[in-house]
Structure 1
Amino acid sequence: MSASIKTPPVKRRPPVWPAILLIVLAAIAILAVVWHVDTEPRTDDAYVYADTIGVSPEVGGKIVTLAVHDNQAVKQGDLLFEIDPRPYRYALARAQAALAQLNAQILLTQRSVTAQTFNAAAARSAVVRAQAAAMQAADTLARTEPLIGNGYVSADELERARTAQRSAQAELEAAQSRERGAQAAVSGVDALVAQRAVLNAEIDTARLNLEYATVRAPFDGRVVELRTSVGQYVSAQKPVFTLIDTRHWYVVANFRENELRAIRPGTRATVYLMSNTGIRFSGSVDSVGFGVDPQDGGRAATGLPNIQRSINWVHVAQRFPVKIQIDRPDPDLFRIGTSAVAVLRVERDINRDDQALRSEGTS
């Protein structure tokens, strides 16, 4: 019985097309990711921001009314706090009383202005007459002195001429002195009127300080960092608390420097907050940062944003802040410092933008 011979099975090569398809799909995915990153730059290195001011009184004093509490929302014109107004009210009353007293003094003084004016005019006329008499006496003396040698006049006549000249000169000086006194009496009224302008300025200052004793909200906002109470003495120009400007909310997103060429003011953006990732907010780029702290160990860059690089031992792209203004922020969700994610919708072609920039540089 002959044994049957079994032929070994032929090993089939695995098909090549799945690997090729996988490579093609991977390349397409990489291209899609690159295109998506170029057309829609995205970053989770972002946070919520709003402008703030330190609420400082213009005058010092004790707080007698504190109308807000910490983290309270306020409207423009709402009362924030009031400083004891009594010292400024008294200062205004004193300035007004001083003005009333000065006005009465001016009124009494003006009654004698007419007489003083007449006295000044009479004194001026006396000066003119004295000048004429002095000139005449001087001429007589000048004519008499040459005649004494020829015997045409006597020594007594010459002495009388000299005496008349000295008397006329003395009368002229006396008349000039009276004229100066009369003019000074008239100018005294002008000095009182000038004092009235000073008192009016003091009244305006006192009235303004009295208004400053009441501090109101300059815009819609939210009170934070309130650490004071009624009875606390506050100094002028020293912040009492911070007021967040809730009229405009921003998201500051730090993008890599190689992504900035496609970002312009007005570029549309979509933002969501890490506190509630289910809500999307739209906005637009307000501005693109033009300076950050280089962090290279060299000269310190004072006043520039300090953005930490993620890897210190590898040369990575620097990040620059892009300020995005939110169109319709939710006042219950937006808080300064809240983490956010920003996605920009770049509508322009990058190559076309580069050509436009080069053409602007050569023009």
Structure 2
Amino acid sequence: MTPDQKFARYVRLSLIGFALVFIYYLMADIFLPVTPQARVYHPVVQISPQISGRVTNVLVSNNQPVKSGDVLFYIDPGPYNLADEQAQLALDDAKLQNKRLDTNVKALEAQISAAKAKQHEQKLLKSRGEKLYKQNSISEQKLESIRANYQASKSNVAAYEAQLAEAILARGELGEQNLAMRHAANQLAQAELNLSYTQVRALSDGIVANLQLLDGAYAVAGKPLLAIVAKKADLVADFREKSLLHMKRGSLAKVVFDSRPGEVYDATLETFEAGVSNGQLSANGLLSTTETSNRWVRDAQRQRIHLTLVNNQSLIENMPSGARATVQLLPESAIGQWFGAAQIRFISWLHYIY
């Protein structure tokens, strides 16, 4: 065989090999999809104080495990102690004011009783005067004076009754349902709640991360000061849309983690993500923006799936958030699963190199 014939043979073999690899790639992308775009995510809880004040004592350190309810740091309680005492004084004052109003109600009731007695007396004098007037025993002027005194006594009773009604309205309901008492009790409860907020606690189990807080810093209500990485973990993978054509919930998968090269773990497809940020429209009052691309073949859209490790879920719970992985989805056929297992096993070996 001449050198030219050998060269032509090598070219043909290379072209055949390239064609076979290309065909395998096209078929594998649909029936044996694999992606290196997979990560372990942990929920991160941002810890923000609910009140403002000077930080007096930071009790935790970076990467320290904490339990839900553990105190993370203290805020100066001085101003909130004063607010609590002021609210307690306001409640005591409301109780004292209610006692004054009760005394005023009783005094008005006594005055009404006296005024009604006076009215009864004036009524009797009026009846007697009218009889004496008919007998010409008193003058008309005297009778008018008696009648005027009777009307004055009626008006006096009505005035006291109006004052009593006003006093009862000002007093309000008795007991804890009194409006002034409820206002004062509400202010006291708010002051006590704010005082309890001077102890900033963990809201969930996890690990303190990126702690930069020091004693003496000023905490602003609602502004995050540290983060807690929860133990709960989620394994997600991003695939091209066409790669998920034959996949469904419960499909088998193989996973390789960058931090554990050579180890392959079984997993199942748990859920499909409802959408991605590119598919979200916001009602911002602007006209819609069309997608533009100068490429003849645009980039494929990726969709996210969530996976669960089979009998190894605790493994990813102990991994840091953001740990990278490679995910191989497996078809239902036995031969397809064999090829997929071989493919991910080869990738696991490559992780020893890169």
Return the TM-score normalized by structure 1. Answer: 0.65
**Distance verdict in 2 for CA 1:55–1:130, change over 3 Å:** farther
The structure with the larger Rg is: 1
2:238 matches 1:254: yes
Unaligned runs of 5+ in 2: 1-11, 131-135, 281-286, 334-354
2:180 matches 1:195: yes
Question: Which amino acid in structure 2 is aligned with residue 229 of structure 1?
Answer: L
Partner Cα distance (1:75, 1:250) in 2 = 20
Partner Cα distance (1:94, 1:274) in 2 = 59
Q: Which residue, out of 74, 80, 84, partners 2:76?
A: 84
Question: Which amino acid in structure 2 is aligned with residue 273 of structure 1?
Answer: F
Q: Which residue number corresponds to residue 270 of structure 2?
A: 285
2:46 matches 1:54: yes
**Distance verdict in 2 for CA 1:109–1:167, change over 3 Å:** closer
Unaligned runs of 5+ in 1: 1-18, 141-153, 302-308, 349-363
Q: Is the 8 A contact 1:269 1:343 kept in 2?
A: yes
Q: How does 1:67-82 map to 2 (within 5 A)?
A: 67-82=59-74
1:132-184 per-position Cα deviation (integer Å, ceiling 9, x unaligned): 89x99xxx9xxxxxxxxxxxxx9x98877777666654443333212212333
Partner Cα distance (1:236, 1:89) in 2 = 18
Shift of 1:42: 1.5
2:310 matches 1:324: no
Partner Cα distance (1:166, 1:287) in 2 = 93
Shift of 1:37: 4.5
Question: Which amino acid in structure 2 is aligned with residue 73 of structure 1?
Answer: P
Q: How does 1:1-363 map to 2 (within 5 A)?
A: 37-107=29-99, 110=102, 113-120=105-112, 125=116, 168-190=150-172, 193-247=178-232, 249-281=233-265, 282=267, 284-293=269-278, 299=288, 312-326=295-309, 327-336=313-322, 338-347=323-332
Q: CA RMSD in A?
A: 4.4
Partner Cα distance (2:62, 2:289) in 1 = 37
Shift of 1:207: 1.3
Partner Cα distance (1:40, 1:157) in 2 = 124
Q: Is the 8 A contact 2:30 2:245 kept in 1?
A: no
Indicate the larger mover: 71-80 or 59-68.
71-80
Return the TM-score normalized by structure 2. Answer: 0.67
Shift of 1:205: 0.8
Shift of 1:109: 5.1
**Distance verdict in 2 for CA 1:57–1:74, change over 3 Å:** same
Partner Cα distance (1:162, 1:38) in 2 = 114
Partner Cα distance (2:240, 2:122) in 1 = 93
Report % sequence identity.
27
**Distance verdict in 2 for CA 1:206–1:266, change over 3 Å:** farther
**Distance verdict in 2 for CA 1:42–1:119, change over 3 Å:** farther
Q: Is the 8 A contact 1:39 1:347 kept in 2?
A: no
Partner Cα distance (1:345, 1:131) in 2 = 107
SS in 2 for 1:218: coil
1:4-58 per-position Cα deviation (integer Å, ceiling 9, x unaligned): xxxxxxxxxxxxxxx9xx98xx87x888766655444211122232222321000
1:186-220 per-position Cα deviation (integer Å, ceiling 9, x unaligned): 44433894221111111111111111111121112
Q: Which residue number corresponds to residue 350 of structure 2?
A: none
Q: Is the 8 A contact 2:101 2:167 kept in 1?
A: no
Q: Is the 8 A contact 2:55 2:215 kept in 1?
A: yes
Partner Cα distance (1:77, 1:283) in 2 = 34
**Distance verdict in 2 for CA 1:108–1:180, change over 3 Å:** closer
**Distance verdict in 2 for CA 1:48–1:129, change over 3 Å:** same
Shift of 1:292: 3.9
Question: Which amino acid in structure 2 is aligned with residue 199 of structure 1?
Answer: A
Partner Cα distance (1:265, 1:128) in 2 = 91
Question: Which amino acid in structure 1 is aligned with residue 75 of structure 2?
Answer: I
Indicate the larger mover: 55-64 or 213-222.
213-222
Q: Is the 8 A contact 2:40 2:316 kept in 1?
A: no
Q: Is the 8 A contact 2:237 2:305 kept in 1?
A: yes
Question: Which amino acid in structure 2 is aligned with residue 59 of structure 1?
Answer: I
